[in-house]
Amino acid sequence: MEMILEFIESTGFANADVPSLVMMAIALFLLYLGIAKKYEPLLLVPISFGMLLVNFPLSPLMISPDNGQPGGLLYYLYMGIELGIYPPLIFLGIGALTDFGPLISNPKTLLLGAAAQVGIFITFLGALAFGFSPQEAGAIGIIGGADGPTAIYLTSMMAPHLLGAVSVAAYSYMALVPIIQPPIMRALTTQKERAVVMEELREVSKTERILFPIVVIVITGLFLPAALPLLGMLMLGNLFRECGVTDRLSKASQNELNNIIVIFLGLTVGAKASAEYFLTVQTIQIIVLGLVAFAIGTASGVLMGKLMCKLTGGKVNPLIGAAGVSAVPMAARVCQTVGREANPSNFLLMYAMGPNVAGVIGSAIAAGIFLALLN
Amino acid sequence: MYGFDAISDNNGWFIAAIGVSIVFTGLIVLSLVIAQLHKVLALVEKLTSKSEKIPEPKPDIRIPPADPNDVETAVQVFTPLIEELSSEFQLSELYALAKEYHLPHPHLSIRCLLESGRLQPLGDGVFVFVPNCQE
């Protein structure tokens, strides 16, 4: 009888508490969004499942080693985030998957990528005003970069206790790009500006493609060594893709390695979203500030696009500025959709990919700045 | 501490201003360097190319008078190009090939093929060619 009672006491039913149940409900809701609504499913499914696993009462998955007993599975996998390993490896895969051709052929779109990072720094100020510490404010501001691995990397380095809330906010807003961005884009541009047809992009030579990652890493590495872990891996992945002699490495970075790291990253980020860290007023503030960051980033990108449109005598469609917030390639697709509403024969996708990938570089630089100044 | 006091106390204004400045400076420098890259390469190529250039044979792709909205013409022109690609390909690859063969209106023709269902999306940006699709 005593054994049965002990068993009952060791079950989740006997130890369930309201915060854990709420977190499990949130995890199931996110799982629903990932599977049924297809909101960033490759990340939202492992994140929400990790969140579910770790919020079971008495869940052993995140416990640390104690008295010679080993820790939980996710505790060890989480070391990959704590030590800053997974996000740069994700960047390796992104680099191998990304065609920087549109950016190389139209390098002025880097300015759009830079302008869209303004949201990060304005939100940083907003978060400070809400009473967050500078490190926490930096982690919250980076949500505006709409770049999941960068947000995770910076948060794990500067405010690991916010990792769950920041990553859920970052990936939720990335998934909601088609809903958040179009009203801002339409509000800031005229019908005539949205209908601008851009000049055809010049062809980019193989040598340029090979030199691009080397040039980028030499310049940014000298400017901001703190950004090297992310940008270094991004450019290495791209060099694998473009140099023509490392096809196997390129394919491994794009597929096997990337998929494995996505599973580890998603699970462990979700595992960090336990009730004690997640169910706080701070989480609501982070979600609101994240939306502000994203909206300001979109607006500043579009405004820079308008400026470039004026300066070039109407040769730049300002809509492509919105793609500067990263969220590759979703933000570029949104530009294409909104552009075609104004001019059905317009084809903005290739042009928007320039600022889109510039945004990835820009947000990694912004993360490096926070690391250099605040850590 | 909250509000402007918290921002000032944590050097927020300074960090934000420096941050924005560094992002812009870094990306402007990158932009300038990348904009010159192809010119430098062309110059280097010009200086180093001493041997006589052998003219490249023209590809055997016959280009009929192109109406980018005519699906059948687009299918006829793009079929030999798509045969050079793998069975599943990305639109950027097809576009690059069309540019290589100097086909007129590649964007419009590819869009025409997409809208007529001749290019079917398989997800993740990958497409397959269906030359005899019934609209």
Which has more pLDDT, B78 or A142? A142
Retrieve residue A320's tokens: 């492509």
Distance from CA of B70 to the nearest CA of A (A): 15
Cβ distance of A114 and B22 shorter than 8 Å: no
CB contact under 8 A, B2 and A130: yes
Nearest-CA residue of chain B relative to A137? B12
Distance from CA of B47 to the nearest CA of A (A): 16
Residue B18 inside a domain? The answer is yes
As a whole-number percent, the residues of chain A with pLDDT over 90 amount to 74
State how far the Cα of A220 lies from the Cα of A218, in Å rounded to an integer: 6
Indicate if the pLDDT at residue B81 is higher than 90: no
Torsion, Cα of A266, A333, A145, A117 (10° steps): 170
Helix (H, G, I), strand (E, B) or coil at A246: coil
Q: Do B7 and A128 touch (CB under 8 A)?
A: yes
Angle at the Cα of A293 (from A367 to A179), degrees rounded to 5? 120
Q: Is B84 in the same domain as B125?
A: yes
Q: What is the pLDDT of residue A113?
A: 94
Nearest to B41 among A203, A208, A361 (CB): A208
In the predicted model, what is the mean pLDDT of residues B78-82? 84
Rg of chain B's alpha carbons, rounded to an integer?
Answer: 25
Selecting from A117, A129, A219 the residue whose C-beta is nearest the C-beta of B30 gives A219
Helix (H) or strand (E) holding A43: helix A41-54
CA dihedral A342, A345, A349, A354 (to 10 degrees): -80
Determine the pLDDT at residue B50: 64
Looking at the domain assignment, is residue B94 inside a domain? yes
Distance of alpha carbon A132 from alpha carbon A284, whole angstroms: 13
> What pLDDT was estimated at residue A310?
94
Q: Are B3 and A350 a contacting pair at CB < 8 A? A: no
Which residues, in sequence order, are CB contacts of A107 under 8 Å at separation 6+? B30, B31, B32, B34, B35
- A114 and B92 within 8 Å at the Cβ level: the answer is no
Evaluate whether residue B59 is within a structural domain: no
- The number of CA neighbours under 13 Å toward the Cβ of B132 is 0
Q: Which residue of A has its CA nearest to B112?
A: A345
B123 and B89 in a common domain:
yes
Rounded to whole angstroms, the Cα distance separating A220 from A226 reads 9
Looking at residue B113, which CATH number applies to its domain?
1.10.10
Strand-by-strand arrangement of the B126-129 sheet: B88-90, B126-129, B119-123
Q: Cβ of B16 and A122 within 8 Å?
A: yes
A294-334 pLDDT, tens digit per residue, is 999 999 999 999 999 999 999 999 999 999 998 888 899 99
Residue spans of beta strands (DSSP E) within chain A: none
ipTM of the complex: 0.87
Cβ–Cβ below 8 Å for B28 and A111: yes
Q: How far apart are CA A18 and CA A24, in angstroms?
A: 10
B112 found inside a domain: yes
Inside any domain, residue B22: yes
Closest residue in chain A to residue B44, using alpha carbons only: A207
Q: Do residues A146 and A177 lie in contact, with contact meaning Cβ atoms separated by under 8 Å? A: yes
pLDDT for B52 beyond 60 = no
Q: Any residues with CB less than 8 A from the CB of A251 and at least 6 apart, and which?
A: A96
* Residue B61 covered by a domain: no
DSSP class of residue A322 equals G
Residue of A nearest to B24 (CA): A114
Say which residue, A91 or B117, is predicted with more confidence. A91
Spatial separation of the C-alpha atoms in residues A62 and A49, rounded to whole Å: 14
What's the pLDDT score for residue A273? 85
Confidence of residue B93 (pLDDT cuts 50, 70, 90): confident
Q: In chain A, which residues have their Cβ closer than 8 Å to the Cβ of B19?
A: 120-121, 124, 366, 369-370, 373
Dihedral sign, Cα of residue A175, residue A176, residue A182, residue A184 = negative
More confident residue, A250 or A199: A250
**Domain limits for position B19:** 3-48
Total domains in chain B come to 2
Q: Are residues B108 and B75 in the same domain?
A: yes
Query: Which tens digits make up the pLDDT trace of A219-245?
Result: 999 989 999 999 999 999 999 999 999
Burial of B127 (0-12, 13-18, 19+ CB in 10 A): buried
For residue B43, is pLDDT > 80? yes
Mutate to test the interface with A, among B15, B18, B43 (most CBs of A within 10 A): B15
Residues B75 and B124 in one domain: yes
Residue B102 neighbours by CB distance under 10 Å? 11
CA distance A64 to A69: 9
The answer to whether A158 and A135 are in contact (CB under 8 A) is: yes
**Does the residue B54 lie in any domain?**
no
A144-159: b or e for each residue (b if 16 or more CB lie within 10 Å)?
Answer: bbbbbbbbbbbbbbbb
B119-123 and B126-129 beta bridge pairing: antiparallel
Distance of alpha carbon A337 from alpha carbon A193, whole angstroms: 15
Which of A121, A215, A347 is opposite residue B16, by nearest beta carbon?
A121
Q: What angle do CA A324, A327, A332 make, to 5 degrees?
A: 60
> Which of B22, B89, B97, B126 to substitute to test the interface with A, most A CBs within 10 Å?
B22
Is there a contact between B34 and A223 if contact means CB atoms under 8 Å apart?
no
pLDDT digits 0-9 by tens, B108-118 = 888 888 888 88
In a domain, B64, yes or no: no
Is the pLDDT assigned to residue A96 strictly greater than 90? Answer: yes
Per-residue confidence at A375, pLDDT binned at 50, 70, 90?
confident
